[in-house]
Amino acid sequence: MFNIHDLTNRVTVNISDVRDPHAMASLVRERAFLFNLAGQTSHLDSMTDPLTDLNINTAAQLHILEACRLHNPKVKIIFASTRQLYGRPHYLPVDEKHPINPIDVNGINKLAGEYYHLLYHQVYKIRACALRLTNTYGPGMRVKDARQTFLGIWIRNLIEGKPIEVFGSGRQRRDFNFVDDVVEAMLLAAVNPASDGEVFNLGSTEHLSLQDVASLLVRLQPGTHYELVPFPADREAIDIGDYYSDFTKIRSALSWCPQVTLREGLIKTLEYYRQHHAHYWP
Ligand SMILES: NC(=O)c1ccc[n+]([C@@H]2O[C@H](COP(=O)([O-])OP(=O)(O)OC[C@H]3O[C@@H](n4cnc5c(N)ncnc54)[C@H](O)[C@@H]3O)[C@@H](O)[C@H]2O)c1
């Protein structure tokens, strides 16, 4: 709730479960836009508890879409999809034509959730689109554990003065988007009809190895260090290796281009958690 502490007099908060069709039916009415971000986001949890992931990331998406079809067919939906559905890249950078080959339960369920949105556009003309997010980070992200992304637990450990762990060789390359750039992409997709029925990769022109990201972070938080540790078997089995996106499509169609460098974004993120960590972990 602290993520919205400075907005509370401008928003109405309704805490519901997306698996509740009655709640969805009432919440989608009379809305112009639906930013559909709620999800089970842990890849590891999707392997140990696949049915919860299925119910949230797939079945509940049908509840939401049915609610829109029946109660608000004019709504514009922006669905937060994921680069995970490409699996291990066959080529880099990965564009939207890359084969789909998810390598974990979460990737399969998110793919189905995304495809339902596209289907409801094709069949019912619901104005849905999907953005395939890559590693997104910034103030407000989950940092108390490693369930959302490795960057979360790294940031917590850095603030606590603990070493951060880089799995394997640390040479896997990735791209990252600061949260403000992702929000901008969602707003551009919301207001531009060119996005209707489309999927877009988000991404960045900066591609860094995990070891380079760790080095950057320890320079930004003096007195800390990182360690290379063996890849835990359960994580290695669902790791996608090198990944970075080609985001030409959204740049051409919606004029989106990320503005915040990784260094700037990490400085802002570390500063945020230095100040506010008490609200994010005990
Ligand atoms: N952060 C990333 O790097 C990234 C990358 C790819 C895709 N995504 C997608 O973006 C979306 C947002 O992710 P995030 O990074 O903000 O993750 P997050 O875990 O911080 O946020 C997910 C939110 O969904 C809510 N939620 C979970 N189950 C719910 C349920 N049954 N009913 C209602 N709400 C529920 C959680 O409470 C949480 O607030 C997700 O759909 C995720 O798959 C994120």
- For ligand 1, what atom is nearest to the CA of residue 110? 43
For a pocket test of ligand 1, which of 15, 17, 27, 41 has the largest count of ligand atoms closer than 8 A to its C-beta?
41
Report the pLDDT value the prediction gives residue 72, as an integer from 0 to 100: 98
Those residues whose C-beta lies under 8 Å from the C-beta of residue 65, and which sit 6 or more positions away, are 77, 116, 117, 120, 126, 128
- For ligand 1, what atom is nearest to the CA of residue 136? 3
Report the pLDDT value the prediction gives residue 220, as an integer from 0 to 100: 97
The rounded percent of the chain whose pLDDT value lies above 70 is 100
Report the pLDDT value the prediction gives residue 154, as an integer from 0 to 100: 97
Report the pLDDT value the prediction gives residue 149, as an integer from 0 to 100: 87
pTM comes to 0.97
CB 189 within 8 A of CB 129: yes
Q: What is the pLDDT of residues 204-234, one digit of tens each?
A: 999 999 999 999 999 999 999 999 999 999 9
Q: Alpha-carbon dihedral of residues 38, 190, 250, 122, nearest 10 degrees?
A: 80
Q: What's the whole-number average pLDDT of the chain?
A: 97
- Give the SS3 label for residue 127: strand
Check pLDDT > 90 for residue 148: no
- Find the 37 Cα to ligand 1 centroid distance in Å: 5
The rounded percent of the chain whose pLDDT value lies above 90 is 98
179 vs 146 pLDDT, higher one:
179
CB 161 within 8 A of CB 224: yes
Identify the band that residue 147 occupies on the pLDDT scale cut at 50, 70 and 90: confident
Q: Which residues line ligand 1 (CB under 6 A)?
A: 17-19, 37-41, 56, 80, 82, 110, 133, 135-136, 142, 148-149
- For ligand 1, what atom is nearest to the CA of residue 133? 6
Report the pLDDT value the prediction gives residue 273, as an integer from 0 to 100: 98
Check pLDDT > 90 for residue 24: yes
Number of residues that this document lists for the chain: 282
Q: Which residue's CA lies nearest to atom 25 of ligand 1?
A: 38
- What 8-state DSSP symbol labels residue 94? B
DSSP states of 131-149 as a string? EEE-EEE-TTS--SSSSS-
Q: Which residue's CA lies nearest to atom 23 of ligand 1?
A: 38
What are the residues facing 226 on neighbouring strands? 164
Pairing of strands 135-137, 226-229: unpaired
Question: What number is the average pLDDT over the span 36-40?
Answer: 97
Report the pLDDT value the prediction gives residue 81, as an integer from 0 to 100: 98
- For ligand 1, what atom is nearest to the CA of residue 149? 3
- Find the 222 Cα to ligand 1 centroid distance in Å: 31
For a pocket test of ligand 1, which of 13, 19, 35, 37 has the largest count of ligand atoms closer than 8 A to its C-beta?
37
